[in-house]
Structure 1
Amino acid sequence: MPPVSGVDRIGALPDSLLHHMLSFLPAQAAVQTCVLARRWRHLWRSTTGLRIVGLAEEENLNAKELRKFVDHLLILRERTNLDTVEIKFAYFCEEDQPYVKTWVRFAVMNKVRALTLSIDGPVDLYLDNLPLVSRYLRTLDLTTVTLQEAFLDFAGCPALEDLKMNYCNIDADRISSCSLKHLSIFNCSSKLDCRVHVSAPGLISLKLVGLIGRTPFLENMPLLDTAYVDLDEDCEDVCLNYVTGVFCGAKDNACVNCVPIKDGISSNSVLLGGISSAKHLKLLSESRNFIFARDLKHSSTFSNLKTLLLNEYWCQAPDLDPLACILKNSPVLEKLTLQLFSKGPNHEVEMKGHYCSVEGPSTISKHLNIFEVKCNVVDKRILKVLKFLCSFNICFSF
């Protein structure tokens, strides 16, 4: 065996690099490095990141000890700026509320740039109904947090660009930010009677998936590049009188959900108008949801749209009007994908199509050159869609 070298190569690295390395460790482990050598004694006090990780209840962690440890850590830590703060609880209880709120305030005071709050347990984290004010915060990632109105007004966060909300309760009627570029709302809920208005004029990418409650109202997003909207069975905007492909709408015998629409925007688009400037759209919905069908009557032209993915929702009306409408209003569309009666990602059948311009003029985009139909089986429903597309000079080969 070669002789053991006594050279401490890691300890020879600059302090700034060691501070950065320690930021990837849970706070408990970072503090424990103080026993490695005299050089490491105080390095943990100036890490560029802080990871506070609470273990699951069955792992027998003493919650009081964790709270006490973190409180002492924050007192002893140098007042250096923080790039990242990550607070994760595998088992969060009511007694943890005031402590976590204090730790969040500490992070903001130390100019944190990326803040992550991930909570799991019998209760949500209830953040105070106070504005979040930070000139440095760029990324905010929230999981299982209850968010109130003042907090969701990000006027005091002029650098905020990336906002993720997962399994959160949105107890507010508005989310607003002039600086936001990327917004993801995943499996969040809103129990308010009114729609949550989303005002983010600088948004580049948007993800709305699995919303519980009423569909949010999207204000104009002129810079939007990509949007993914999936309205599942938890959406409350469903037609109670729905018959395959047909909504009762504004009729005398309309269901209580369809009409009257008590949101002050009954004459405007809810979703499609706000995302009509996007270049890439993925629009999915359960059959009984009426928002997309309703919006098509009010939506402007999708003047920038290059790629479009739709599911069977758009193809179930007897005359396939929703599909025809969105195709006729997408003048520069280049790629169309229909994902029909198949969730994916693997599909039993995938068909490719092509546009036959020699067969006469078409009412859809002349730029369309990529067509895809993905399904599990070619049945009468699929054949109906293929026949419909043929009327637009789109041909498929089997």
Structure 2
Amino acid sequence: MVNTRSRSLPNEEMEGALASGEDRIGALPDDLLQNVMSFLLSRDAMRTCVLARRWSTLWKSVPALRIEDDLATDSNKFVDELLRLRDPAPLNVCDICDVSEDSDTEDPETFCEEAYNRIAPCLRYALLHQVRVLRVSAPVFPTDLVLVSSHLKRVELCHMQFEDSLDFSSCQVLDVLEMTDCNIYAPIICQSLRHLNMKGGCFDNEVRYHISAPNLVSLKLAPESGLTPLLDSMPSLVTASVESSEEEFHHCFALLSCDDGCTREETFSVVLEGLSAATNLELTSDDLKQRVNGTDERYAPKKQSLPSKHLKIVKIICGLMKDDARVYRALKMLCAHGVPFEKIDIQ
């Protein structure tokens, strides 16, 4: 027999507490309340100061900054006051989202520089207070983005544009870097990085830059356009996924320049060169142009760039048909670089 009374006790107790006016939330310890408040936008967390005397200062030590405002308006004054009044407690998370749309300038570059100047104080404050997770979503063009931290473990960037080096070497414990809809015209450097994910945005169309992250375990590159970067040695790599809207962006050509002076042969696969340690590899291209010269195109590289001893499976994802000439070409290229046919999965 099921004891229905035991199940109803919590509801009865809750109803009794509500009837008596008992403050159950107020009975929670400060650190637990502040942890709950850390999921609120900072503007809302600050508003809790009017609830009761005890709440008047709780918001000051919440271990998160979450700012989602039009920082081009009076909201910027609120952010200044927030940073001034907050206690110097360490931060777990700093989440900045500038939703500004209007500007006095019609120059896109000036607009982005102004936007960066608005979020820069928050970035400096977060790094000074040992932030571990940093998220920035803003249409900015940071000309002097330098992150120095021995605590930062995760960085997520959205809608930003980079033309100076993305050097995270001064972030000794940075583990995850995610970039969404970012335009990158610079090398990416980080010794500690283990997970790199880029979705949308673009790389340069004329210069092929480097990604130097020797401790990567997982890599996902899915830009909308641009030359696939040169990938330095990644001996710890386990899974890799590289997508390109145009297949030719995976290869070297005499007319295209690498940032360090490329001596590779024409049609050399820069993707395969950098992913030789991967256990699982996925290459995707939805290019509609078929770069096939004749019906018996031969791919005979001077040397193997992918003598992989670790690769377990390669996926070739076809947007249209499996008998597409590009699939045939990819098979020949992979086999020429030492990938056994039985390890190739065509989907």
> Residue 168 of structure 1 corresponds to which residue in structure 2?
182
Mapped partners of 1:148, 1:135: distance in 2 = 25
User: In structure 1, how many angstroms separate the alpha carbons of the residues matched to 2:86 and 2:40?
Assistant: 15
| Structure 1 residues 262 and 87: CA distance shift in structure 2, 3 A | closer
Matching of residue 307 in structure 1 with residue 313 in structure 2: yes
- The question of 1:26 aligning with 2:49 is answered no
1:25-66 CA distance string (max 9 Å, x none): 0111101111111111101000111100126xxxxxx95221
Quickly say closer, same or farther: Cα 1:315–1:218, change in 2 above 3 A: farther
Query: Percent same amino acid among aligned pairs?
Result: 36
Structure 1 unaligned spans of 5+: 56-61, 240-256, 340-398
Post-superposition CA distance 1:252-276 (Å, at most 9, x none): xxxxx94444331423641111112
Matched, 1:330 2:339: yes
Counterpart in the other structure of 1:101: 120
* Number of the residue aligned with 2:274: 274
In the TM superposition, what are the counterparts of 1:1-398 in structure 2 within 5 Å? 4-54=19-69, 63-93=72-102, 94=111, 95-119=114-138, 124-150=139-165, 152-172=166-186, 174-191=187-204, 193-233=206-246, 237=249, 258-263=253-258, 264-267=262-265, 269-285=269-285, 286-288=287-289, 297=301, 298-312=304-318, 316-317=324-325, 320-326=328-334, 329-331=338-340, 336-339=344-347
- Rounded Cα–Cα distance in structure 1 between residues aligned with 2:298 and 2:212: 21
Q: CA deviation at 1:332?
A: 10
Aligned pairs, number: 306
Where does residue 349 of structure 1 map in the other structure? none
Change (3 A) 1:216 1:18: same
Which shows bigger deviation, 177-186 or 297-306?
297-306
Structure 2 unaligned segments of length 5 or more: list them: 1-14, 103-110, 292-296
CA positional deviation for 1:169 = 1.8
Q: Contact (CA 8 Å) 1:296, 1:326: kept in 2 or not?
A: no
Pair 221,71 (structure 1): closer, same or farther in 2 beyond 3 Å:
same
What is the CA deviation profile of residues 256-306 of structure 1, one whole-angstrom value per residue up to 9, with x for unaligned ones?
x9444433142364111111211111111125487xx99983422232122
Superposed displacement of residue 137, structure 1: 0.7
Q: Distance in 1 between matches of 2:158 and 2:299?
A: 30
Structure 1 pair 46–238 and aligned structure 2 pair: CA distance change class (3 A): closer
Distance 1:70 1:333, change over 3 A: farther
SS of 1:272's equivalent? Answer: helix
Rate the CA distance shift 1:259–1:33 in 2: closer, same or farther, 3 A: same
TM-score (norm 1): 0.69
The 3 A distance-change label for structure 1 pair 97 and 178 is closer
Q: Distance in 1 between matches of 2:81 and 2:299?
A: 55
Contact 2:182 2:201 in 1 (8 A): yes
Residue 125 of structure 1 aligns to a residue whose secondary structure is coil
The 1:184–1:238 alpha-carbon spacing in structure 2 relative to 1, beyond 3 Å, is: closer
Task: Give me the whole-angstrom Cα distance separating, in 2, the residues matched to 1:278 and 1:195.
Answer: 22
320 and 213 in structure 1: CA distance in 2 versus 1, 3 angstrom threshold: closer
Change (3 A) 1:318 1:196: closer
> Is the CA contact (8 Å cut-off) linking 2:335 and 2:341 kept in structure 1?
no
Q: Which amino acid letter does the alignment assign opposite residue 109 of structure 1?
A: L
Pair 81,134 (structure 1): closer, same or farther in 2 beyond 3 Å = same
| Residues 1:319 and 1:305: Cα distance change in structure 2 (over 3 Å) | closer
- Is the contact between residue 244 and residue 250 of structure 2 (CA under 8 Å) also seen in structure 1? no
Give the TM-score of the pair, scaled to structure 2: 0.79
